[in-house]
Structure 1
Amino acid sequence: MTQTPAAHLTTDDPPASAFMKLLVVIMLFLSYMLFAVAWNWGDLYVRSLGFSASRTALMTNAITIAQVVGSFFAANVMLRVGPRRAFTLASALIIFGGIVALTDAFPLVFFIRFVMGLGGALMVVLGSGILARLLTGTALQVANGINSVAFNTGLAVALTFGMQMNDDPAFAVALAAGLSATILILWLVISRSGLRGMAPVKAVDRSYTMRDGFREWFNWVYALAYTGLLSYYIVAFTFMNAGTVRWVVYAGIVGALSGTVVSARVAERRKPLIVVICAALQLIAAALVLAMSGHRLEILIGVILGLVIFFPMPFFVQTAFIRPEITPRQIAVTFSIFWAVSYAGSVVIIQIFAWIADATGGLGPDNVPVSVAPMIFIVAIEATFLIGTFLIWRWFARQWAARPVTSAP
């Protein structure tokens, strides 16, 4: 009989203390936060190379394409090598992105950005899988909510120091890689103890494959619902006015943290409906930001947009966890499909956005499209979040209606 590798850290190990588990959650948060910093500061470097809107979008899509590829394999990577080694690999790939500062050749820049994106894809899926096996109940809800704001926090950090880094984008890229390397070293130390006693992957769980996941209606709608919102957000921090986007990001942190606190106190039956309501509000706010560009109330609308985009994210993430009889392996597969499908869709959508921008005047000052046409397109695409979350809410309503009252969440 083959022994379980040490990297899998099964329940044969003594359980980690609550403090060590907390440190693991912090490491997961900081690692993905710094991926966002590396992505944004990498964008600064790409812009300094003077590419067109289409090529700039392609450089962003190098990361999103990698997210698609990495998301497909993330669950199986963790199953084969264990959570600790898998997350270490993801971190190393993100750090590799720092060498982009050494070249300005388009193919090399694309390849390096792709590798970094691959690390980010592995990291976000692995993070969900690790939390599902390490924590339960309210602790899991809070950890998921905190992790849902990691990327936005990274963007806030990147945008806050963006003006200084814009003067030397190559240094910014190297600094982001150095910070990620520091967190990786801490991860190697903390995870050895913090992941002890994790629930092992059961034999029945091993039989749940990506093919099984793709057969589930929920996984498709869950991913496609997020595709429009993700595309809108990537376009926002890449091609919209940095002054407004900065406030969207700041408000997003407040919104996500508030959503984390509130979601832990809200009954499961109400969570999908809250997401639908916020999806409607964010579509209205996105349209208002576009309509009121240059108006003195633009920043206020941007703050509202950030709040309604990120407040429902903890609720939205938890909808994947509150399905009947869900297992950690199914959670990992769901998020593999979620990120793969949503990033694949965003690759196409962002490239269409860039083609529309190039065809209607290209980019003006500060990398903002000259024409309003591409902005109208991306706001319309953002509506898929409202459509998808409405369908998910109705699905949950039917599921709960078919269950006995005593077993209701």
Structure 2
Amino acid sequence: MPDVSTSHSAPAHPYADLGTTKKVLLVATTFTSYMLFAVAWNWGDMYVTSLGFSASRTAVMTNAITLAQVVGSIVAANVIVQLGTRKAYTLAGALIVFGGLVSLTQAFPLVFFIRFVMGLGGALMVVMGSAIAAKVLTGRDLQIANGIGSVAFNTGLAVAITFGVRFSGRPTIAVVIAATLSIILLVTWLVVSKMVLKPEQAQEAAVDHSYTMADGFKEWFNWVFALAYTGLLSYYIVAFTFMDPSTIRWVIYAGIVGALSGTVVSARVEDRLKPVIVVWSALAQVIAAASVLALAGHRLEVLIGVILGFVIFFPMPFFVQTAFIRPGVTPRQIAVTFSIFWAVSYAGSVFIIQIFAWIADATGGLIPGSNVPVSVAPMIFIVIAEASFLIGTFFIWRWFKAQNAFSEEITA
């Protein structure tokens, strides 16, 4: 750790003079771009559902995107190095736009391929969003940007579910609209990034090579950080794909409120308390997820769904921030951490979701005309899988205590 007495001689942050307007434009653009990825994913699911696939094939279509998230997350950090931040993010946006081509075919292999390419774009985008925030923003601005970013996907689902009912009989039009909106955001990114991001120097690229994916995979924190999220991610993907839309809609709406509340609170809470808050929220998630299952069809189902949505997303800003508050962490390490985070969590969710689908098919399949399983057995399985978030975040909290990361000596 550098001597605080010499900290006055440290070079100024390269974006220290960046105005508030440009910061807002950058965050708003990356937020909306990833939000539209969620819209494209959900409306693409609606199109796939209209093709009449079984639970297993529907899961395969969802896993086309999930598998792409694994591949994209692994290569994202190196794509940034090879292309530079601006071009890499542009590529991600273009791949998401490509997903609109799914509206032109009903052939299973082509649908899978197009969905895979779109998922690749989403994977690159979410990792690069964290890297861009770490590169450009600092302090509370960074915490707020991370918090807002954590609700982008959920906001996209809320938008998709709210307006998707208008296209229930015309899913092809919904897919085309999502692709068109993504094109508009891609153009917006090209303009905003030109205004905000500075040309990347050769020296920066050389520094980026100093911490590799291999280095990242050797770090205990990166593995636990990713595996903790795996069960929660699987639960959430199953929720918006295989659960009753009338209930999951309220989970998603409440999730937006929860994430925004978490963003505001996280920016005001001391770093040493963030891991603790995540653990208690994770416990509340497991209880709420089990309650939603136990009270299915009960008049309190919606209320429990609201509570579930809130406790799922309230801790997300705190959880994401734990990766940024590690002692001595660099922007390159952040990029690698989130590459591993999304790769491992999505790879794990592919496995978990497919098991969920196999259990569903083996116990009666789906209710005709919907994606909801006939049996409760797969739902019990996914609630158990969701508990990995509680286990993982508990270990992260203990790790921070062991590292003495928030001692008076370090925080002074």
TM-score (norm 2): 0.94
1:307 equivalenced with 2:310 (yes/no):
yes
Q: CA deviation at 1:14?
A: 10
Name 2:78's counterpart in structure 1: 76
- Matched residue, 2:62: 60
Residue 397 of structure 2: aligned partner? 393
Structure 1 pair 14/271, CA: closer, same or farther in 2 (3 Å)? closer
Distance 1:257 1:202 in 2: 34
- The corresponding residue for 1:297 is 300
1:324 alignment counterpart: 327
Assess if the C-alpha contact under 8 Å between 1:247 and 1:299 holds in 2.
yes
Letter in 2 for 1:386: L
2:373 pairs with 1:369: yes
Contact 1:13/1:197 (CA < 8 Å) preserved in 2?
no
Q: Is the Cα–Cα contact under 8 Å of residues 81 and 205 in structure 2 kept in the other structure?
A: no
2:161 corresponds in structure 1 to 159
Residue equivalent to 1:267: 270
Determine the structure 2 residue equivalent to 1:378: 382
Shift of 1:213: 0.2
Alignment-derived partner of residue 131 in structure 2: 129
Residue equivalent to 1:32: 34
Aligned to 1:350: 353
Structure 2 portions without partners, runs of 5+ = 1-12
List per-residue Cα deviations over 1:270-296 (Å, max 9, x = no partner).
Answer: 000000000000000000000000000
What is the CA–CA distance in structure 2 between the aligned matches of 1:371 and 1:243, rounded to whole Å? 18
Q: CA deviation at 1:207?
A: 1.3
CA shift at 1:231, angstroms? 0.1
Report the Cα offset of residue 80 of structure 1: 1.2
Give the alignment partner of residue 145 of structure 2, picking from 125, 143, 146: 143
Aligned to 1:217: 220
Distance in 2 between residues matched to 1:249 and 1:226, nearest whole Å? 18
Which is worse superposed, 194-203 or 163-172? Answer: 194-203
Q: CA deviation at 1:15?
A: 5.6
Give 3-state SS (helix, strand or coil) of 1:160's partner: helix
Cα displacement (A) at 1:13 = 9.7
Change (3 A) 1:134 1:14: closer
Q: What do the CA deviations read for 1:351-385 (whole angstroms, capped 9, x no partner)?
A: 00000000000000421000000000000000000
In the alignment of these two chains, the number of paired residues is: 398
Separation (CA, whole Å) in 1 of partners of 2:380 and 2:411: 42
CA distance in 2: counterparts of 1:291 and 1:114, whole angstroms: 35
Tell me what 1:253 maps to: 256
Going from structure 1 to structure 2, the CA distance change for 1:274 and 1:78 (only over 3 Å counts) comes to same
Q: Percent identity?
A: 72
Find the counterpart in structure 1 of residue 8 from structure 2: none
Which residue of 1 is the match for residue 241 of structure 2?
238
Give the 5 Å matches for 1:89-238: 89-196=91-198, 201=204, 203-238=206-241
The AA in structure 1 aligned to 2:399 is: W
CA distance change for structure 1 residues 202 and 102 in 2, over 3 Å: closer, same or farther? closer
* Residues 9-59 of structure 1: CA deviation (Å, up to 9, x unaligned): xx9999643311220111000000000000000000000000000000000
Q: Could you tell me how far 1:152 is from its partner in structure 2? A: 0.2
Kept in 1: contact 2:242–2:372 (CA 8 A): yes
Q: Tell me, in whole angstroms, the C-alpha distance in 1 between the residues paired with 2:29 and 2:319.
A: 23
Q: Deviations over 1:220-257 (max 9, x none)?
A: 00000000000000000000000110000000000000
> Quick one: distance in 1 between partners of 2:123 and 2:244?
27
The answer (yes or no) to whether the contact 1:144–1:314 under 8 Å persists in 2 is yes
What is the CA–CA distance in structure 2 between the aligned matches of 1:22 and 1:159, rounded to whole Å?
A: 27
Q: Work out the CA distance in 1 between the residues paired with 2:193 and 2:362.
A: 50
8 Å contact from structure 1 (residues 362, 369) kept in 2: yes
Q: Which amino acid aligns with 2:236?
A: Y
In 1, Cα distance between equivalents of 2:85 and 2:17:
16
Residue 267 (structure 1) shift: 0.4
The answer as to whether partners of 1:17 and 1:194 remain within 8 angstroms in 2 is no
Check conservation: 2:84, 2:200, Cα contact below 8 A. no
Offset of 1:201 from its aligned partner? 3.2
**Separation (CA, whole Å) in 1 of partners of 2:14 and 2:127:** 25
User: In the TM superposition, what whole-angstrom CA distance separates every residue of 1:292-345 from its partner, at most 9, and x where no partner exists?
Assistant: 000000000000000000000000000000001000000000000000000000
- Corresponding residue number in structure 1 for 2:410: 407
Q: Which amino acid aligns with 2:138?
A: T
Structure 1 spans left out of the alignment, 5+ residues = 1-10
User: Quick one: distance in 2 between partners of 1:111 and 1:135?
Assistant: 36
Q: Secondary structure at the match of 1:362?
A: coil
AA at the equivalent of 2:95: L
Corresponding residue number in structure 2 for 1:4: none
Secondary structure of 2:327's counterpart equals coil
2:81–2:208 Cα contact (<8 Å) kept:
no
Query: Quick check: 1:41–1:172 contact (8 Å CA) kept in 2?
Result: yes
- Rounded to whole Å, the distance in 1 between the matches of 2:409 and 2:190 is 45
RMSD (Å) for aligned C-alpha atoms: 1.6
TM-score, reference length from structure 1: 0.95
Tell me the secondary structure at the aligned position of residue 204 of structure 2. coil
Question: Take 2:398 and 2:238, find their aligned partners in 1: how far apart are those partners?
Answer: 30
**Alpha-carbon distance, 1:405 to partner:** 2.4
